[in-house]
Amino acid sequence: MKSAPFEYLVPASLAEALETLAGHQDETKVLAGGQSLVPLLKLRLARPRYLLDINRVPELSYLELKDGRLHLGALTRHSALGREPSARGSCPLLAEAAARIGHTAIRNRGTVGGSLCHADPAAELPAAMIALGAELKIDGPGGTRLVPAAGFFQGFMTVDLQPDEILAGLSVPVAGPGTGWSYLEVSRRHGDFAIAGVAVWLSLDDKGLFRQVGIALAGVDDRPWKARACEDFLVGKEAKEEVIAAAREQLAGFDPTGDIHASREYRELMAGELFVQALRQAVERAANNL
């Protein structure tokens, strides 16, 4: 298990990275934390001619609260989401989701940007970002464009990113009064890919009605799956058990695949169970937060 030959490029700035990328385009893979790419290289499933290591690009490493949102550079490590007080305090959903990613060593190396661009349908952060309504900042030769997370994931491990572009970072809303959240997941062992996962980010108004609801599922479709119908159903309704149960009835349209770890039927069942449990937990937290 040794990778095929490649040329290793280490840009020192975002401009240099983009320039290099523009020159080599399709023959280049961007290396961030390497937790998915390196195994693919070792198995020779990925065999780029150039490997562009962005770990030393300073513009991609930031974590700050600004204008009521949490801004994260693409190189933010998973472990930082739970460790950094500003991230954990302002966006606890990310900390909760990140805790389910792999193991400590993986969380210390793996990056937020890498997880989103790799776009494994069972990964935690893509679903969490959709639930949060994250806004992705993509840099390319034409400048910067902003893409909502829900539009970024286009198919099985396919994202809205051109070969000459780099995901530079993203921003997510921060918790305020009435905010509730939950990330729940079923996997064979802790750290394995989700059989099913549910991310919820919502807020209640002072009457106990759903003001805003974001829900996304992991592991049950060819991409992280936004439960749009359920979100629409819930907004404006009272946050109570019967409504949650009714929302579950609206949960349909995703298309899980069975494999050696879980059948399609089991994934569907778990998606529904976790949906209810995650909504309950998020509502409870929101109520405590009012």
Distance CA 102, CA 191 (A): 4
Nearest alpha carbon to residue 218 among 199, 197, 187:
197
In sequence order, what DSSP letters do the residues of 123-142 get, joined into one string? Answer: -HHHHHHHHHT-EEEEEETT
With respect to other proteins, which residue has the nearer C-beta, 43 or 252? 43
Shortest Å, Cβ 99 to other proteins: 13
Shortest Å, Cβ 267 to other proteins: 9
Shortest Å, Cβ 51 to other proteins: 14
Shortest Å, Cβ 196 to other proteins: 10
Shortest Å, Cβ 265 to other proteins: 6
* Positions that interact with other proteins (CB under 8 A): 1-5, 43-44, 186, 188-193, 260-263, 265-266, 269-270, 273
With respect to other proteins, which residue has the nearer C-beta, 47 or 211? 47
Q: Burial code of 209-242, b = ≥16 C-beta within 10 A, e = fewer?
A: ebbbbbbbbbbbbbbbbbbeebbebbeebebeee
CB 207 within 8 A of CB 290: no
With respect to other proteins, which residue has the nearer C-beta, 263 or 289? 263
Q: What angle do CA 129, 131, 132 make, to 5 degrees?
A: 60
- Cα–Cα distances in angstroms (integers) from residue 267 to residues 42, 97, 178, 196, 225, in the given order: 30, 19, 31, 6, 13
Shortest Å, Cβ 70 to other proteins: 30
> Kind of pairing, strands 28-31 and 50-53?
parallel
Could you count the other beta carbons within 10 Å of the beta carbon of residue 39?
13
Nearest alpha carbon to residue 72 among 42, 95, 43, 96:
95
Shortest Å, Cβ 38 to other proteins: 13
Distance CA 22, CA 260 (A): 41
Distance CA 89, CA 227 (A): 26
